[in-house]
Amino acid sequence: MKYLPSSLIHLGIYDCFIENIFEQIGKSIGLETLELSNINLINVPNQIGNLSSLSFLSLPNNKLIHISSTIRNLHLLSKINLKNNRQLRSIQMLNGLKSLKILDVRHCSIDRLPLYLSQLTNLYMSNNYLINLVGIETLGYENNL
């Protein structure tokens, strides 16, 4: 993991435990797809914002509590999968992601909708703690679908 090739565009790691994974992949600015499933990930640190080519981020079946707001730096990010992170209470750090089209946050502990996702076409939020739909009008308002 220490020496990832600069040509790497897809990285998938499943069903294991790797400490400080973002310190190791934070310089892989050519990554377009990052899938980290069931690796006991608790936080998505600031280094996520360095992955400027990322279009798909998949972090299901982890123990996420926090995602850094630097995720807003990812202007190409169009699909995010955070399902089955039962301790994840907020996705407000995703507010304003201009290219996000698909967001899957099923089976988390989220109580509020994300806001200002102008290109959103698919939102999956079953089995959360939503108490209202405040801000729903800010989702998908610029797409033609």
Task: List, for residues 96-121, the tens digit of each pLDDT value.
Answer: 999 999 999 999 999 999 999 999 99
Q: What percent of the chain has pLDDT over 70?
A: 97
The partner residues of 57 in beta bridges, in order of sequence, read: 34, 80
The pTM (predicted TM-score) of the whole model is: 0.94
In a domain? residue 105: yes
**Euclidean distance between CA atoms 41 and 23, whole angstroms:** 13
Q: In which domain, by residue range, is 28 found? A: 10-138
Give residue 27's identity as a one-letter amino acid code.
Answer: K
**Euclidean distance between CA atoms 120 and 5, whole angstroms:** 32
Structure confidence at residue 2 (pLDDT): 60
> What beta strand segments (E) does the chain contain?
10-14, 33-37, 43-44, 56-58, 66-67, 79-81, 102-104, 122-124
Q: Which of 23-37, 42-56, 59-73, 88-102 has the lowest mean pLDDT?
A: 23-37
Per residue in 28-45, pLDDT (tens digit) is 889 999 999 999 999 999
When pLDDT is averaged across residues 78-82 and rounded to a whole number, the result is 98
When pLDDT is averaged across residues 64-76 and rounded to a whole number, the result is 96
**Euclidean distance between CA atoms 49 and 44, whole angstroms:** 10
Here the CATH number for the domain that contains residue 88 is 3.80.10.10
In a domain? residue 2: no
In a domain? residue 143: no
In a domain? residue 78: yes
Structurally, the chain folds into a number of domains equal to 1
In a domain? residue 4: no
In a domain? residue 3: no
